[in-house]
């Protein structure tokens, strides 16, 4: 049984700098519990969204809609939304309350319950990796819209983030522009994406873009 002290406290998420938090989240562990069974994965790729100036953010210019309401909530909550009508994307809400920063989790390396995670993916695992990509890892870990708003620091939540003390050197992390935000003007150029370059569990675009 893992100790509760390994949970990342809410104070970690309150920092008013989502870029720093996105970088520090590399190597941390996302845990979900379904029917009492744990599955988990280590974060290998993340992206910061720094509202209101960030035109790629759902909360650009303090835009507020039913969908992105959770971005304005307390730090350390989950913001889950549906992308392209199909995929559920998982974000961590950061910054003080009413400041709509967020960090998108784009890829994980499966740690616990790998066989369960494989079963959650329906397609035949030919080319694509198990949990590489923001819409894929949510399937692996059984994250859905039902988890929107969960407190990631709360031991009672079925969705949490833990620190397993994995040591990541600074030179193992690369920053690049973000994926899929090309139409967001100057915001598209910001190096708000972080990848653990030694990992094979990175989103497909990591390789076609040839950022590193």
Partner DNA sequence: CGTTGGATCTTCT
Partner DNA sequence: GAAGATCCAACGC
Residues forming contacts to DNA in the complex (CB under 7 A) are 47, 49, 56-59, 63, 65-68, 71, 79, 82-87, 89, 91, 102, 104, 121, 123-124, 126-128, 133-136, 178-181, 183-184, 203-205
Structure tokens at 158: 């079925």
- C-beta of 103: minimal distance to DNA in Å? 8
Q: Which helix (H) or strand (E) holds 196?
A: strand 193-196
Q: In 10 A of CB 113, how many CB atoms?
A: 21
Q: How far is CA 146 from the centre of its chain?
A: 16
Q: Which is nearer to DNA, 6 or 135 (CB)?
A: 135
Q: Which is nearer to DNA, 2 or 146 (CB)?
A: 146
- C-beta of 10: minimal distance to DNA in Å? 20
Q: Is the peptide bond before 208 cis (omega within 30 degrees of 0)?
A: no
Q: Which is nearer to DNA, 2 or 82 (CB)?
A: 82
- C-beta of 186: minimal distance to DNA in Å? 14
Structure tokens at 205: 């675009």
- Select from 91, 209, 81 the least CA-distant residue to 161: 91
Structure tokens at 136: 């894929």
Q: Which is nearer to DNA, 5 or 208 (CB)?
A: 208
């Amino acid at each position: 049984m893992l100790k509760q002290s390994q949970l990342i406290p809410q104070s970690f998420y309150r920092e008013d700098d989502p870029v720093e938090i996105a970088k520090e989240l590399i190597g941390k562990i996302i845990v979900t519990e379904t029917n009492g069974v744990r599955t988990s994965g280590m974060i290998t790729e993340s992206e910061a969204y720094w509202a209101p100036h960030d035109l790629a953010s759902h909360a650009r210019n303090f835009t507020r809609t039913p969908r992105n309401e959770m971005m304005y909530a307390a730090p350390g909550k989950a913001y889950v939304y549906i992308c392209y009508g199909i995929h559920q994307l998982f974000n961590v809400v950061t910054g003080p309350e009413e400041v709509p920063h967020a960090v998108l989790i784009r890829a994980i390396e499966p740690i616990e319950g790998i066989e369960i995670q494989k079963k959650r993916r329906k397609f035949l695992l030919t080319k694509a990796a198990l949990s590489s990509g923001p819409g894929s890892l949510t399937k692996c870990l059984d994250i859905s819209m039902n988890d929107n708003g969960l407190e990631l620091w709360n031991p009672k939540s079925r969705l949490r983030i833990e620190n397993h003390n994995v040591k990541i050197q600074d030179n193992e992390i690369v920053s690049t522009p973000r994926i899929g935000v090309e139409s967001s003007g100057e915001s598209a150029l910001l190096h708000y994406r972080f990848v653990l370059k030694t990992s094979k569990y990175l989103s497909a675009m990591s390789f076609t873009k040839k950022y590193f």
